Amino acid sequence: MAYDVVIIGAGMSGLSAGIRLAYFDKKVCILEKHSRIGGLNSYYKKGGHEFDVGLHAMTNFVARRDRRKPLMRLLRQLRIGYDELDLSEQTRSSVRFNDKTLYFTNDFNTLKAEIADKFSAQIDGFIKLTDHIDSYNELDINAKTFPAREVIDKYITDRLLSDMLLCPLMFYGNAKERDMDFWQFVIMFKSIFEEGFARPFEGVRRILRILKNKYNECGGELRLGSGVKKLTTANDGSLRVVLDTGETIEAKKVISSAGYVETMRLCNSSDEPDEVPPGKMSFMESLYLLDKTPADLGIEDTIIFYNNRERFDYKNPDTLIDEKSGVICCPNNFAYDTPLKDNILRVTNIANSDLWERLSKNDDEYARAKETSMRLTRNAISQYVGDFHSSILYTDSFTPATIRRYTDHINGAVYGTEEKIRSGKTRVDNLYICGTDQGFLGIVGAMLSGITVANLYALK
Amino acid sequence: MTKEDVRKSVLDIIASIAPDEDLSGIDGDAPLKEQAGLDSMDFLDIVMELRKRYSIDVPEGEYMELVSLNSSVNYLAPKMENI
């Protein structure tokens, strides 16, 4: 049985591509290796509690239903109503570098006022940088790009400010160490600072459920527990998808969200070298279930991006984790109509995947290392959130090894390869990639990526 | 289909793509782009919906025929005559 399109991976990008294709009557099948959809943005249940993975918040919040904004464009493309998302806005977030704090909200003027107040010599440059960003079309897959710092330095001469601006954007989407591509910087700047954060009351589950239901309604087929082992090209140019079970599926086209290197490995013989190195940036996340709301513990912000070093250094650490910088997320601190059932604090730190993979082979050592790392993090963030040790009811954590195990992304690299394949094309005819390695970032970016690749190569 | 039916079908498609837009006061001769706030992705969707609903193919070179409501009706009417 031949499909028009087979999609590898039922994450945000694969599901979005699937909806477009199924809606327009293509015979489409999504193959998901895991027993659950979501990929890098998923959820699990442990100790009777539900936890989200990946997504801290939806970026790209729009309140005034501005049709041109990415979130509205993707909802139109997927024929999903804005209200279905049930979004609640963040209260306030911050970037905290020791004693220097910049607050921002979903009103861009908050950040402008903060910079005018705390970096008064830089505000004119910041406004000019913003104008430059606004005039750049980051969704054009052919747009020229440069190192972001090169551009930022033309407008902002205080390294502390440029680091504070880069910090949230890097943590939420950067596959490169120390610098970003300018077009990715623009995507993240608009989605986080100009548009902002919101969250469905039910978290990532709601978004995934909407996507899955829409896909089913359109007649798309979803196969869970169906890992792909090999991709080969038939004489007529169509593709043969060989599953782990040995079953072979034929497809005129394949769109893969498995990652670029991961996808090409499915096509190559095992001794062939990778064309580009796999990404390295991965994270450890510590989850704390608390007996009080974060607000009762004095934590008012929705998301805190912090750095304790003299200079912010976004890179793969030599140690298990880099506890000196990271992200603290309080899912409770969104403006919901009713409070969440559980009080949760999530802390995300860059982690060295090689070291974690090695440790994960020994259960005891691995568990001990997780515990030690969580303690280091808790100490490192106490200057921002106080000591919440006595309020902890339950903890859990996951590492690059966990991410690799559940998503099959090499190194558990959350943001994929350093160099993005913006066109979505591969050297194999009729094989395309979408998702994090195509380079639209964040979950809104992931969905737009699936839509764009489906439109360009399977619908037009 | 009469020209009026074609007009209705096109408006129907635009309404499904842009549910929040008020289409009642649309000027038939003015570009849809500004009036209904449609971007290039949305135009592709009009073409796709025409194929999905009425099996009509609009080649890429003729997309500009859909620039306004009136031009769309004039262009599509012969193709939709027998529907």
| Chain B residues near residue A67 by CB distance under 8 angstroms | 18, 20-21, 37, 39
- In chain A the first and final C-alpha atoms are separated, in Å, by 24
Lowest mean pLDDT among A117-121, A147-151, A387-391, B79-83: B79-83
Q: Do B42 and A81 touch (CB under 8 A)?
A: no
- In chain B the first and final C-alpha atoms are separated, in Å, by 6
Write down the H helix ranges in B36-80: 40-54, 69-80
Structure tokens of A255?
């769109």
**Is the full-model pTM beyond 0.90?**
yes
Q: Which of A25, A67, A79 sits opposite B37 (nearest CB)?
A: A67
Query: Span A348-376, mean pLDDT?
Result: 97
Tell me the per-residue pLDDT of A137-175, one tens digit each, with 9 for 90 and over: 887 878 777 899 999 999 999 999 999 999 999 999 999
Task: Tell which residue, A54, A57, A56, A168, has the closest CA to residue A398.
Answer: A54
> What number of other Cβ atoms are within 10 A of residue A374's Cβ?
22
Q: Do A65 and B51 touch (CB under 8 A)?
A: no
- Rounded to the nearest angstrom, the minimum Cα separation between B3 and chain A is 25
In the three-class reduction of DSSP (H, G, I as helix; E, B as strand; rest coil), residue B31 is classed as: strand
Tell me the per-residue pLDDT of A27-52, one tens digit each, with 9 for 90 and over: 999 999 999 999 999 999 998 888 99
Tell me the per-residue pLDDT of B9-34, one tens digit each, with 9 for 90 and over: 999 999 888 877 788 889 999 998 88
Interface check for A81 against chain B (CB to CB < 8 A): the answer is: yes
Percentage of chain A surpassing pLDDT 90? Answer: 89
Query: How far, rounded to the nearest angstrom, does the alpha carbon of residue B82 sit from its chain's CA centroid?
Result: 18
Interface check for B42 against chain A (CB to CB < 8 A): the answer is: yes
Query: Span A315-321, mean pLDDT?
Result: 97
Q: Which fold has domain A2-40+204-277+418-459?
A: FAD/NAD(P)-binding domain (3.50.50)
Interface check for B30 against chain A (CB to CB < 8 A): the answer is: no
Interface check for A219 against chain B (CB to CB < 8 A): the answer is: no
pLDDT score of A371 more than 70: yes
Report the relative pairing of strands A303-307 and A93-97 from DSSP bridges: parallel
> What number of other Cβ atoms are within 10 A of residue A459's Cβ?
20
Q: Do A68 and B37 touch (CB under 8 A)?
A: yes
pLDDT, averaged across chain A: 95
At residue A199 the predicted structure's pLDDT band, cuts being 50, 70 and 90, is very high
Interface check for B45 against chain A (CB to CB < 8 A): the answer is: yes
d(CA A343, CA A339) in angstroms, rounded, equals: 9
Domain ranges, ordered by start, for chain A: 2-40+204-277+418-459, 112-189
pLDDT score of B37 more than 80: no
Q: Do B18 and A76 touch (CB under 8 A)?
A: yes
- Rounded to the nearest angstrom, the minimum Cα separation between B53 and chain A is 10
Phi/psi of residue A377, each to 5°? -65, -45
pLDDT value at residue B21: 78
| Chain B residues near residue A455 by CB distance under 8 angstroms | 41, 44
Tell me the per-residue pLDDT of A86-116, one tens digit each, with 9 for 90 and over: 999 999 999 999 999 999 999 999 999 999 9
Q: Do B16 and A81 touch (CB under 8 A)?
A: no
Residue with tokens 């984790």: A321
H or E, element range at B9: helix B3-17
| Chain A residues near residue B60 by CB distance under 8 angstroms | 460
What residue in A sits closest to B43 (Cα-Cα)? Answer: A77
Label each residue of chain A as H, E or C: CEEEEEEECCEHHHHHHHHHHHHCCCCEEEECCCCCCECCCEEEEECCEEEEECCCCECCCCCCCCCCCHHHHHHHHHCCCHHHHCEEEECCEEEEECCEEEEECCCHHHHHHHHHHHCHHHHHHHHHHHHHHHCCCCCCCCCCCCEHHHHHHHHCCCHHHHHHHHHHHHHCCCCCCCCCEHHHHHHHHHHHHHHCCEEECCCHHHHHHHHHHHHHHCCCEEECCCCEEEEEECCCCCEEEEECCCCEEEEEEEEECCCHHHHHHHHCCCCCCCCCCCCCCEEEEEEEEECCCCHHHCCCCCEEEEECCCCCCCCCCCCCECCCEEEEECCCCECCCCCCCCEEEEEEEEECHHHHHHHCCCHHHHHHHHHHHHHHHHHHHHHHHCCCHHHEEEEEEECHHHHHHHHCCHHHCCCCCCCCCCCCECCCCCEEECCCCCCCCHHHHHHHHHHHHHHHHHHC
Domain membership flag for residue B76: yes
From chain A residues 49-68, the ones with a CB under 8 A of any chain B CB are 65, 67-68
At residue B38 the predicted structure's pLDDT band, cuts being 50, 70 and 90, is confident
Question: Which residues, other chains included, contact A416 with Cβ-Cβ below 8 Å and sequence gap of 6+?
Answer: A175, A259, A260, A279, A409, A435, A436, A437
Query: Span B52-78, mean pLDDT?
Result: 94
d(CA A434, CA B55) in angstroms, rounded, equals: 28
Q: Among A67, A84, A142, A459, which would you mutate to test the B interface (most chain B Cβ atoms within 10 Å of its Cβ)?
A: A67
Between helices A123-134 and A108-118, what is the axis angle to 10°? 150
pLDDT score of A70 more than 80: yes
At residue A1 the predicted structure's pLDDT band, cuts being 50, 70 and 90, is low
DSSP B21: S
Lowest mean pLDDT among A75-89, A137-151, A241-255, A338-352: A137-151
Interface check for B41 against chain A (CB to CB < 8 A): the answer is: yes
- Domain with residue B43: its CATH number is 1.10.1200.10
For residue A36, CA distances in Å to A8, A9, A44 come to 14, 10, 9
pLDDT value at residue A270: 76
pLDDT value at residue B19: 76
Domain membership flag for residue B22: no
- Rounded to the nearest angstrom, the minimum Cα separation between A194 and chain B is 21
Query: Span A4-13, mean pLDDT?
Result: 98
Report the relative pairing of strands A431-433 and A248-256 from DSSP bridges: parallel
Q: Which of B17, B21, B52 sits opposite A24 (nearest CB)?
A: B52
Tell me the per-residue pLDDT of B61-71, one tens digit each, with 9 for 90 and over: 999 999 999 99
Phi/psi of residue B5, each to 5°? -65, -40
pLDDT value at residue A139: 77
Please report the sign of the dihedral spanned by the C-alpha atoms of residue A414, residue A419, residue A424, residue A430.
Answer: negative
Cβ atoms of A325 and A79 closer than 8 Å:
no
Interface check for A273 against chain B (CB to CB < 8 A): the answer is: no
What residue in A sits closest to B46 (Cα-Cα)? Answer: A77
Q: Do A459 and B37 touch (CB under 8 A)?
A: no
d(CA A427, CA A447) in angstroms, rounded, equals: 23
Cβ atoms of A119 and A161 closer than 8 Å:
yes
d(CA A41, CA A44) in angstroms, rounded, equals: 11
Residue with tokens 């793509």: B17
Domain housing B61: 3-17+29-80
- Rounded to the nearest angstrom, the minimum Cα separation between A208 and chain B is 22
Tell me the per-residue pLDDT of A261-290, one tens digit each, with 9 for 90 and over: 999 999 987 788 898 999 999 999 999 999
What residue type is A236 in one-letter code?
D
Domain membership flag for residue B48: yes
Structure tokens of A185?
């910087």
| Chain A residues near residue B21 by CB distance under 8 angstroms | 67
For residue A329, CA distances in Å to A56, A87, A151, A332 come to 7, 17, 29, 9
Q: Do A73 and B45 touch (CB under 8 A)?
A: no
Question: Which residues, other chains included, contact A338 with Cβ-Cβ below 8 Å and sequence gap of 6+?
Answer: A201
Domain membership flag for residue B24: no
For residue A12, CA distances in Å to A38, A421, A434 come to 6, 18, 10
For residue A179, CA distances in Å to A173, A183, A268, A311 come to 12, 12, 31, 13
Q: Which of B19, B39, B44 sits opposite A455 (nearest CB)?
A: B44
ipTM: 0.87
d(CA A106, CA A13) in angstroms, rounded, equals: 25
Q: Do B16 and A79 touch (CB under 8 A)?
A: yes
Interface check for A76 against chain B (CB to CB < 8 A): the answer is: yes
pLDDT score of B58 more than 90: yes
Q: Do B37 and A73 touch (CB under 8 A)?
A: no
Domain membership flag for residue B39: yes
Domain membership flag for residue B7: yes
pLDDT value at residue A90: 98
